[in-house]
Amino acid sequence: MMQALFQATIEFLKAFWAPLLCGVAIVAILPLIVGYIVLVERKLMADMQARLGPMRVGPHGLLQPIADAVKLLIKEDIIPDDADKLVFWLAPVLSVSAALLALAGLAIGPAFQIAQDINIGILFVVGVSALGIFGIVLGGWASNSHYSLMGALRSSAQLVSYETAAGMALVSALLFTGTLNIKAIVEAQSKEGIWFVLLAPVAFFCYLVASIAETNRAPFDLPEAESELVAGYMTEFSGFRWSLYFLAEYANMIVVASVATTLFLGGWLRPFAHVSWLNVLDFVPTLLMVIVAAYCLQRTPKQPTRVQQMFMLAVAGLCFVLGIVLLAPVVVPIAKPFYAGIHGGFWFIFKVSLYIYFFMWLRFTIPRYRFDQLMRLGWHFLIPLSIINVLLVGVALIAGAYFNLKGWGLLLVTTPAAVIALVVALLILAAEKSRGARPDQTAASDFYAG
């Protein structure tokens, strides 16, 4: 028996050593990445709000995430007296593991994917990341607090509602590829020479809105609306448990941004990947890195202490090295084979960052929806629109096949479809407006029912 088990373990390790290693790497590195995303968010927020943001820990606050992580780890771990201990313990773990598991399905470049070539790629990512909702619901319930429970209920109602819209938006894009495999999806965009965001703009819009709602970001951050429900389902969590939720939230952001990038924004493809006269675009990554490095160098003498100056120099150096690495595959013939991997990774991360930047930008700019407004937006606007869009895209594809259109030519049929969807959207909005004109005190009362 023991020998059999041992043998099985060896077999398992032999077959799966690479994904396992990647998994460990994800779990180890992701918190760091999330920490720096938070720092970037705070810096952006500060910039938009006419202030500086974190400046104390490290030059320009660059070590702030580490300080925060240490603080969270050594904080007192409080479990409320009447809480359901087991569930309280389980909930954050569920949340974070679902988010991390979903990351496994993503392809950061043609070379980097943990769950290689699974046939159900995009479904896997979407389905597994949706499991994180249990962490929220159970956490809210286990805290035994009204605020938490209301936050949890809001959250689950919101997630279930917007998942429908997001799924429908995904279907619209999947119609173009005919496969669920993530690599195949990107390759389809490469083959067509056009990103699906141009072919299915309405679907992209629907997914964008739904993904913000799914990750509980402003203006849909009701579950944790701090002005009403204190911190929603996280109210009673503190220290490390709380940071797990935090981690899950940002990991989820990465997941939805990656899905959108893969499906709509051409994944790891460079813009105009097959237009040879635009190959100069290959120098853009290097240029970006060099600019960042130059900025850091320029700031170095202004740092108050020697340590900070050294740190700034180190950052500049790192950026410079990255720039060289990005430059190498373009100019050095020997490094050519690494082109797809390195530049693919760069473009993918670049697009994901833009998507997340958009999230942050929204958060600092607009107020929060009220819960009934949010539900109405989901059920009365987004879901009908995305369903109609699926139909229209389907019709457009049939027409495209009939006229034998390819690539940019498909725009001839998809643009009218998008225009019709737009008209439908405006009609829905107008209808909503006339509905909203009368005070609907009753309509909102059963919004938990969806």
Partner 1 sequence: MLDRVLFYFFAGIAVASAVLMVTRRNVVHSAIFLITALLATAGIFLQLRAEFLFIVQIILYVGGIMVLFVFVIMLVNLDVALQQIQFARQKWVALLVTLALAGQVGLLFWSSGKMPGQGLPVLTATAAERLPLNSETVAHSLFESYLLPFEIASVLLLVAMIGAVVMAKKRT
Partner 2 sequence: MLGADELVINMGPQHPSTHGVLRVKLKLDGERVIGSECIIGYLHRGVEKIAENRTYQQFAPYVDRMDYVAAVSSGLGYCEAIEKLLIVEAPPRARVIRTILTELQRIASHLLWLGTHALDIGALTPLFYCFREREEILKIFEKYCGARLTTHAFRIGGLQYEAHDTFEKDVERFCKDFESRIVEYETLLTQNRIWIGRTKGVGILTAADAIAFGVTGPVLRASGVKWDIRKAMPYAAYDQYKFEIPVGTTGDTYDRYLVRMEEMRQSRLICLQAIENIPTGPIMAKVGKVLKPPPGEVYHAIEAPKGEIGYYVVSDGTVMPYRVHIRPPSFINLQAFDRMVRGHLVADVVAIIGTIDIVLGEVDR
Q: Residues interacting with partner 1, by CB under 8 A?
A: 4-5, 7-8, 11-12, 15, 84, 86-87, 90, 118-120, 123-124, 126-128, 130-131, 133-134, 137-138, 141-142, 149, 152-153, 156-157, 159-160, 163, 180, 442, 445-446, 448-449
232: left (phi over 0), alpha (psi -120 to 50) or beta: left
* Shortest separation between residue 124's beta carbon and partner 1, angstroms: 6
3-class SS shares of the chain: helix, strand, coil, % to 5: 80, 0, 20
- What does the alpha-carbon distance between residue 425 and residue 315 come to, in Å, rounded to a whole number? 47
Q: Which two tokens stand for residue 14?
A: 């032999």
Is residue 196 within 8 Å of residue 187, measured between CB atoms?
A: no
CB of 388 to partner 1, least distance (A): 17
Nearer to partner 1, 124 or 207 (CB): 124
Q: Which residues bind partner 2 (CB under 8 A)?
A: 45, 48-51, 146-147, 149-150, 153, 218-219, 221-222, 225-230, 363-373, 439, 441, 444-448
Q: Which partner, partner 1, partner 2, none, binds residue 147 by CB below 5 to 8 Å per kind?
A: partner 2
Complex with partner 1: residue 124 or 205, whichever CB lies closer: 124
> Minimum distance between the CB of residue 113 and partner 2, rounded to whole angstroms?
37
Tokens of 171: 């279907």
At 14, which helix (H) or strand (E)? helix 2-48
* 221, interface contact from partner 2, partner 1, none, CB < 5-8 Å by kind: partner 2
Separation CA 425–CA 436 (nearest Å): 16
Identify the DSSP state of 106: -
Class of residue 74 by CB neighbours under 10 A (exposed 0-12, middle 13-18, buried 19+)? exposed
Closest approach of partner 2 to the CB of residue 370, in Å: 5
31: Cβ contacts below 8 Å, ≥ 6 apart: 69, 247
Can you name the residues that pair with 113 across neighbouring β-strands?
107
Q: Please, what is the minimum distance in Å from the beta carbon of residue 221 to partner 2?
A: 7
Q: How far is the CB of 140 from partner 2 (least distance, A)?
A: 11
Q: From partner 1, partner 2, none, which one binds at residue 49 (CB under 5 to 8 Å depending on kind)?
A: partner 2
Query: 375 vs 47, 60, 222, 444, 447, CA distance in Å?
Result: 32, 40, 11, 9, 7
Q: Which does 222 bind (CB under 5 to 8 A by kind): partner 1, partner 2, none?
A: partner 2
Residue closest to 421 by CA, chosen among 388, 382, 378, 376: 388
Nearer to partner 2, 149 or 319 (CB): 149
Q: How far is the CB of 119 from partner 1 (least distance, A)?
A: 5
With CB under 5 to 8 Å by kind, the binding choice for 279 among partner 1, partner 2, none is none
List the single partner that 236 binds among partner 1, partner 2, none, CB under 5 to 8 Å by kind.
none
Structure tokens at 266: 């051409």
Shortest Å, Cβ 88 to partner 2: 17
When the beta carbons of 5 and 437 are compared against partner 1, the nearer one is: 5
CA 283/CA 291 separation, integer angstroms: 12
CB 143 within 8 A of CB 102: no
**Minimum distance, C-beta of residue 90 to partner 1, in the bound complex (Å):** 7
Nearer residue to partner 2 within complex by CB, 48 or 86: 48
Nearer residue to partner 1 within complex by CB, 14 or 51: 14
Q: Which does 370 bind (CB under 5 to 8 A by kind): partner 1, partner 2, none?
A: partner 2
Task: Using CB atoms within 10 Å of the CB of residue 212, give its burial: 0 to 12 exposed, 13 to 18 middle, 19+ buried.
Answer: buried
Among partner 2, partner 1, none, partner that 150 touches (CB below 5 to 8 angstroms by kind): partner 2
Decide: helix, strand or coil at residue 21: helix
